[in-house]
Amino acid sequence: MTHPLIPQILELATPIAENLELDVVGAVYQTNKRPPILRVDIRNPNQETSLKDCERMSRALEEHLDAIELIPNAYVLEISSPGISRQLTTERELTTFKGFSVLVKTYAPFDGKKEWQGRLQGQDETTLYLNQKGRTIAIPREAIAKIQLWDKAES
């Protein structure tokens, strides 16, 4: 379940990231840790996300969070890149990661397979489109159990 502060954190973090030419991919606030941990995932759309990107975002976001006292008690701010095994769950993530390699798993076999690998080409209300070696594969969204970023080197 998403913490109630996450929408406000994303609303604050997104323009800060845009000023730094970065994208906010998601955020998690773990209140079961002492002190609590606020993790914001970012990506650099122009190149591989670097430690310097994370440091710049951390400094800028921390300054704003502290100024408005959104989180009143002590917490740890972590800025990271989402990593290759990240599961894509929202429309925004599917748009953000268009062109990336993904692994799609279906609930039941679709066209004889339960796993599909390819480049995320796009989506609409009913269908997810993958590019497999120049061929478009259309997978019905209701058949999809999971979509995650996929590293070709792991296969």
Torsion angles phi and psi, residue 30, rounded to 5:
-95, 95
Q: State residue 153's pLDDT score.
A: 40
Instruction: For the beta carbon of residue 121, count every other beta carbon within 10 angstroms.
Output: 16
Among candidates 17, 12, 39, which has minimal Cα distance to 28? 39
State the pLDDT at residue 84. 57
Buried-exposed string 1-32: b where 16+ CB fall within 10 A, e elsewhere: eeeeeeeebeebbeebbeebebbbbbbebeee
Helix (H) or strand (E) run with residue 115 in it: strand 113-123
- 143 burial (CB, 10 Å; 0-12 / 13-18 / 19+) is middle
Q: What is the DSSP string of 119-144?
A: EEEEE-SSEEEEEETTEEEEEEGGGE
Q: What is the pLDDT of residue 87?
A: 81
Amino acid 151: pLDDT: 67
The structure's pTM equals: 0.60
Where exactly are the structural domains of the chain? 6-80, 91-154
The helix/strand/coil state of 84 is coil
CATH architecture of 6-80: 2-Layer Sandwich (3.30)
Give residue 155's pLDDT: 42
Q: What is the pLDDT along the chain (155 residues), one digit of tens a residue?
A: 678 899 999 999 999 999 999 999 888 999 888 899 999 999 888 888 888 999 999 999 999 998 998 888 899 999 988 765 578 888 878 887 888 889 999 999 999 999 999 999 999 999 999 999 999 999 999 999 999 887 654 44
CA–CA separation, 8 vs 2, rounded Å?
Answer: 12
Q: At 139, which amino acid appears?
A: I
Q: Give the CATH architecture of domain 91-154.
A: Roll (2.30)
Q: What is the pLDDT of residue 154?
A: 44
